[in-house]
Structure 1
Amino acid sequence: MHYEILGCQAPDTPTLVLSSGLGGSARFWAPQLPALAEHYRVVVYDQAGTGRSPARLAEGYTIANMAGELLEMLDELGIQQCHFMGHALGGLVGLELALQRPNLLQSMVLINAWSSPNPHSDRCFAVRKNLLRDSGPAAYVQAQALFLYPADWIAAHSAQLAEDEAHALAHFPETDNLLRRIAALQAFNVEDRLEQIKTPTLLIANRDDMLVPWQRSQHLADKLYSAQLALLDYGGHASSVSDVEPFNRVVLDYLARQA
């Protein structure tokens, strides 16, 4: 998989691994990198079958497979301990890491994540799959902002969105890969294993998230052994992009406390 290591490289610098959502691209974290790179050795990567990590994903591909691929990459880099931050699908990867190799993780930040399916998100992903199958990648990409951002932010950032959408179309993954990634996150269910996860965890959720109800993060905060919830009022599903400064402040404050 394609990866980049950014920020401070001093031997005693803590490592922070970032895992993006359904799009899978390291580019998602651009608004966070300047702030994080001042304090951490930051590892970003394009997930298998997306962006600069070409692969043909197998039928029955799972979140556990995604976590296994990331573990292989971290082993190759010699990373034995790290902090982890994941958005949506990336948050599911974090939960799997905590189950597969708990000693790796010093802490987790999980953004608009979940531990089992819910009817609202399933409805949203069904719409997205239908757009992809019936109308093609251009319609899928055009609709994406509606699921990610608040309406007023979309209206105020049309030029940025046009640029982002052109980039997304130019680097659009194979349709089968994307459908298998969606199927993986729809099938994800670790409800009966949450009590096994002891990693200190910050859950970040947004009240105005129209893709994943914020109560799914509240549920995780209630069930995980060492977790707390930061509930943000604004930003939609991707407040790391649409409301950068408050988001970064919450993350940096939490990670500093873990240190």
Structure 2
Amino acid sequence: MSFFDVHESERPGAPTVLLSAGLGGAAGYWAPQLAALKARYRIVAYDQAGTGRNKRDLPDDHSIAAMADEALAVMDATNTHKAHFVGHALGGLVGLDLAVRHPDRLRSLTVVNGWAAAHAHTRRCFELRLMLLKHEGPAAYVRAQPIFLYPADWLAKNAARAAQEEAHGLSGFQGVDTLKRRIAALLAFDATPHLAHLRTPTLISAARDDVLVPASMSEQLAAAIPGATLDIAPWGAHAINVTQPAEFNARLLKFLDVSS
């Protein structure tokens, strides 16, 4: 069974957009973007190593660089020479690593609620999530996850959806060791020394009310990348592409169209 999906565009010969999810790692995270993107672009989305259809043991030294190598392998397997890379949080770090080491494979880079290097607040959030996982187990970890993803009022209005996501997240839980290694990889990542040398057209997208990754981290990231476009929405939280899909899709398409 393949761990990646290819959605051919309605437009023949359309450029490819490669979608890379965050810590959850699943291609399905991008469902709110598929229809809008497919009208103009070919889409490739994949389950990251250790997650979804790509479940397997990860080495102790698993890294963002290894995840970037996996993204390149997906590009090769789907006959994608160059792609617009769109990454959410951890997925955005994968894109940054590609922009540093393989800029010739990218048409553009979009980082959604990502960072150059995790700072104290984000580290505290992940440390608390790991403590919850250790002492209360996967069910408590999965139940707490929406608090870090969604605005409080959105979550209250979408309780049924959150319950469905919780059940799905628990049934497909990536495993304690896998999760710990993936979190260790994202916390160890630091692209700061390389940002001034990036030349890939870049969009830094963020939400002002993200409680996991403060918008200031996106502001710092955009300021460090020459020519980067910064777009900060006032509302939408960490999973802004889910909570504000129409607005997010419009901003993303505007950037991709200019960068194609």
* TM-score between both structures, scaled by the size of structure 2: 0.97
CA contact (8 A) 1:7 1:38 kept: no
Q: 1:92-145 CA deviation, whole Å, 9 max, x = no partner?
A: 000001112101101111101101120000000001101111111110011001
Per the TM alignment, residue 15 of structure 1 is displaced from its structure 2 partner at its CA by 0.3
Q: Any stretches of 5+ residues in structure 1 without a counterpart?
A: none
Deviates more, 1:96-105 or 1:2-11: 2-11
Identity of aligned residues (%): 46
Does residue 134 of the first structure (1) align with residue 108 of the second (2)? Answer: no
* 1:158-197 matched pairs, under 5 angstroms: 158-197=159-198
Output the amino acid matched with 2:173.
F
Residue number in structure 2 paired with 1:235: 236
Output the amino acid matched with 2:48.
Q
Q: 1:5-40 CA deviation, whole Å, 9 max, x = no partner?
A: 013176521100000000000110011111111111
Output the amino acid matched with 1:256.
D
Whole-Å separation in 2 of the counterparts to 1:238 and 1:7: 25
Residue number in structure 1 paired with 2:97: 96
How many positions carry a matched residue from both structures? 259
Output the amino acid matched with 2:102.
R
Whole-Å separation in 2 of the counterparts to 1:133 and 1:97: 33
CA contact (8 A) 2:86 2:109 kept: yes
Q: Any stretches of 5+ residues in structure 2 without a counterpart?
A: none
CA contact (8 A) 1:102 1:199 kept: yes
CA contact (8 A) 2:18 2:44 kept: yes
CA contact (8 A) 1:7 1:36 kept: no
Residue number in structure 2 paired with 1:86: 87
Whole-Å separation in 2 of the counterparts to 1:99 and 1:11: 30
Residue number in structure 2 paired with 1:152: 153
CA contact (8 A) 1:14 1:82 kept: yes
CA contact (8 A) 1:2 1:45 kept: yes
CA contact (8 A) 1:194 1:224 kept: yes
What secondary structure is seen at the aligned counterpart in 1 of 2:79? coil
Whole-Å separation in 2 of the counterparts to 1:9 and 1:99: 32
Whole-Å separation in 2 of the counterparts to 1:84 and 1:190: 17
Per the TM alignment, residue 244 of structure 1 is displaced from its structure 2 partner at its CA by 1.3
Residue number in structure 2 paired with 1:255: 256
CA contact (8 A) 1:92 1:114 kept: yes
Whole-Å separation in 1 of the counterparts to 2:77 and 2:6: 13
CA contact (8 A) 2:6 2:78 kept: no
CA contact (8 A) 1:19 1:26 kept: yes
